[in-house]
Chain A
Amino acid sequence: MADTDIDTEDDAQTVTDGGSGGAQAFFEQAGDYQATSTSRKDRTYRKLDLYVFAPFRVAWSDWRARVGISIIVFFILLGTVGVELVEEPLMNEGAPYTTWFQTWEMPLGTDNWGQPIHKMLVHSTPAILKMALAGVLFAVGLAIVIGVVAGYKGGTVDYVLMTLTDIIMIIPGLPLTIVLLAIWQPRDPFVVGVVLAIDSWPSLARMLRSQVLTIREEEYVEAARAMGVPTRTIVQKDITPQLMPYIMINASNAAQGVIFAAVGLYFLGFLPDGGAYNWGVMMNEAYQTGGALANPWRGGHWLFAPMIMLTVFTMGLILFSQGMDRVFNTKIRARHAKTVADDEDELN
């Protein structure tokens, strides 16, 4: 798709060294053909199809990816629509320490204040999603920029960026993030997510760099470079799209890492909860005030319910990344999964 854009724009000025008029006419013809056949809407759809729909359609063929995507979508719905449907929990809605499956209104029981557990679980989801989103955007964005630039530029830029990456990779992640969180005491889930993702970009950056190292030697990249296409365009249009599967797999891993760490730190009471609902905070309270460990028949339901939510969510992310990995690392991308015909088909 990328080179068709360039063709249509530059055709008028293209003059080949010693090229004959015939060659020129051929290029012009091809350019005209493209220009008439693709409208803006069509192009956008094709782009979406290439980057979003086709990968998902391919991924959907694997059962892991299917289950993973379903779980992730379920949690996203829970955090957006579910919050609207389920009212916020109130104190004394039920008798304190009701265990699960006692009444229909409170299937998961209540905590020490009589707040229904299932409502607390639902209202904890947005915070978790925000943390994961912030962490993923930060880690993946930084990794793409650093990995792709280092891999493509090479030389000194590569050396400096990779030394930086190595240093960050070696800094013990959890102790460092705990210290940072202790300094800032953030309450905003977005900030917590970013801080917890601080150590999750280096490995992706390194992986992307090594991928770029192989891609940059490919003929079509060399051709683009010889044609004088700016580095920026080559990186954006020719290299980054190839990395999409890796990026998606790692985004899922980063999300999992952020959620793991965040809930763990809330669980131990490292982070200020600010009165918001959160699976980690629930676990902490069940553990501290509910005495769920020593007496699981009294407070266990309060402790185990958020744990199950956490585990299911992580399982969804892991299944998604494994399914994607399985589908894309085989390097056989099913053609039938595309809805738009291939370029070759169109030209014939």
Chain B
Amino acid sequence: MNYYLRRLWQAVFTLVVVIALTFVLYRMMPGGPIEQMEQRMIDEAIGSGQDPDLQYIRRMVEIRTGIDPNKPMYIEFYEYMRDIILYQDFGESINSGDPVFDILFYAMPWSIFVSVYGLLIGFTANIVLGAVMAYYEGSRFDSGSTIVAVVLNSIPYYVGAVIMLAFLSFQWELFPTGGRYWAGTEPGFSIEFALGVLHHGALPIMSTILIGFGGTALSMRGNCIRVMGSNYLRVARLRGLSDSRIATRYVGRNAILPLYTGFMIGLAGIFGSSIIMEQIFTYPGVGWYTFDALNQRDYPLLMGILIFFSTVTVIGVLIADLTYGLIDPRASSNDREGF
């Protein structure tokens, strides 16, 4: 129990540090939100032939961004955290004026849809492939698949995405070139809408699969071969256990164990890569808004997005850590003598 509490505390601490770090980073961003908005309002005033009233503009900027330049940063940070925790208030997007929470809330399901499906399909396919390769170790199938896995692993996912987009969407028009669902369909529980979502999501999911493809299969293969050579497996065979039991409980379980943590951390990596991916596929998820927010210096939105990414990662790692002891009883305690 003590271990779980410590892990939980560590996760919360990490999250706070990450948020604080990004908070400071964004304040240091040149052409930050305050400067930029001030400049825009001055330009507007000059454009409409008025004399810009600096006092008034400063007050307006303060109200709209919620940033008071006179307050020290730690008080602002405290207030920011208080708003998030007590009122789920992440501020408002400078550009669109919508609450950041709403923007993220609507964009999130799409990113999660693409990432989780991509990761699950990719991971399952990799594990099955790796196991089969290990079973036929040394055969022509094994060496052929190894080469394919290495080649696929070498293709950066965005290159894969661009090639798929160029041929499957633009040339052969099998898939739409962007968007999340058909413009004519109404979001809801209808078959046309669901098919449209699948059709639009297919390419992003396929290139998400590409991200980790090959690498996991090769390590699964290596793990399987290592386990298959161990003594306890020979004992199991001598005890007359059935092949299926040996394959699943003895080989499979032990070979997947080292990959488990990688799966949880991979989830975070895939969310991160969605920034590039969703831009290529013009798929308006969280990553797509990140790109926009960065270009426009939309500071509250960017903060919200980074908190979202960090939370996903922290939760993923936490789940991996907390459940690892359950699936691998050997995960030893870390009582070591210090010197």
Expressed in whole angstroms, the minimum distance between the Cβ of A21 and any Cβ of chain B is 34
* Complex contact B18–A170 (CB within 8 A): yes
Bound Cα distance A171, B310 (Å)? 6
Is B339's beta carbon under 8 Å from chain A?
yes
> Which A residues touch B28, using CB under 8 A?
183
> Which B residues touch A94, using CB under 8 A?
none
Is B22's beta carbon under 8 Å from chain A?
yes
Bound Cα distance A157, B339 (Å)? 10
Name which residue of chain A comes closest to B154, CB basis: A315
Number of residue pairs A-B, CB distance < 8 angstroms: 126
Task: Assess A172 versus B29: contact at CB under 8 Å? Given A167-B18, A303-B162.
Answer: no
* Complex contact A167–B14 (CB within 8 A): yes
* Complex contact B338–A264 (CB within 8 A): no
Mark each residue of chain B from 238 to 280: 1 if its CB lies under 8 Å from any CB of chain A, else 0. Answer: 0000000000000000000000000001001101110110011
> Which B residues touch A22, using CB under 8 A?
none
> Which A residues touch B159, using CB under 8 A?
307, 310-311
* Complex contact B339–A154 (CB within 8 A): yes
Name which residue of chain B comes closest to A183, CB basis: B29
Mark each residue of chain B from 13 to 37: 1 if its CB lies under 8 Å from any CB of chain A, else 0. Answer: 1100110011001101110000000
Is A91's beta carbon under 8 Å from chain B?
no
Is A267's beta carbon under 8 Å from chain B?
yes
Query: Which of B80-88, B164-172, B201-209 lies at the interface?
Result: B164-172
* Complex contact B310–A170 (CB within 8 A): yes
Bound Cα distance A180, B29 (Å)? 9
> Which B residues touch A179, using CB under 8 A?
22, 25-26, 29, 294, 302, 306
Expressed in whole angstroms, the minimum distance between the Cβ of A99 and any Cβ of chain B is 15
Bound Cα distance A17, B18 (Å)? 55
> Which A residues touch B309, using CB under 8 A?
172, 175
Query: Which of A3-11, A244-252, A288-296 lies at the interface?
Result: A288-296
* Complex contact B166–A178 (CB within 8 A): no
Interface residues of A in 95-153 (CB under 8 A from B): 153
Task: Assess A180 versus B25: contact at CB under 8 Å? Given A167-B17, A170-B317, A268-B279.
Answer: yes
Expressed in whole angstroms, the minimum distance between the Cβ of A268 and any Cβ of chain B is 6
Interface residues of B in 11-65 (CB under 8 A from A): 13-14, 17-18, 21-22, 25-26, 28-30
> Which B residues touch A171, using CB under 8 A?
18, 21, 310, 313
> Which B residues touch A312, using CB under 8 A?
154
Is A287's beta carbon under 8 Å from chain B?
yes
Is B291's beta carbon under 8 Å from chain A?
yes
Chain B interface size, as a band, is 35 or more
One of B21, B155, B290 near A175 (C-beta < 8 A): B290
One of A172, A264, A314, A319 near B268 (C-beta < 8 A): A172
Expressed in whole angstroms, the minimum distance between the Cβ of A315 and any Cβ of chain B is 4
Expressed in whole angstroms, the minimum distance between the Cβ of B271 and any Cβ of chain A is 7
> Which A residues touch B154, using CB under 8 A?
311-312, 314-315, 318
Is B217's beta carbon under 8 Å from chain A?
no
Task: Assess A300 versus B166: contact at CB under 8 Å? Given A172-B309, A179-B26, A267-B158.
Answer: yes
Bound Cα distance A312, B165 (Å)? 21
- Which residues from chain B sit less than 8 Å from chain A, CB to CB? 10, 13-14, 17-18, 21-22, 25-26, 28-30, 150-151, 153-156, 158-159, 162-163, 165-167, 170-171, 218, 265, 268-269, 271-273, 275-276, 279-280, 290-291, 294, 302, 305-306, 309-310, 312-314, 317, 336-339
27 A-B interface contacts by CB (under 8 A) = A154-B336, A155-B338, A163-B10, A167-B17, A169-B265, A171-B21, A172-B268, A172-B306, A174-B272, A175-B275, A176-B22, A178-B290, A179-B22, A183-B30, A213-B336, A267-B158, A267-B276, A268-B279, A268-B291, A283-B162, A287-B162, A293-B166, A293-B170, A294-B170, A296-B166, A314-B155, A318-B153
Beyond A175-B275, A178-B294, A179-B29, list 13 extra A-B contacts (CB 8 Å). Answer: A64-B150, A171-B21, A175-B272, A175-B305, A175-B306, A179-B294, A267-B158, A268-B276, A293-B162, A303-B162, A314-B155, A318-B153, A322-B218
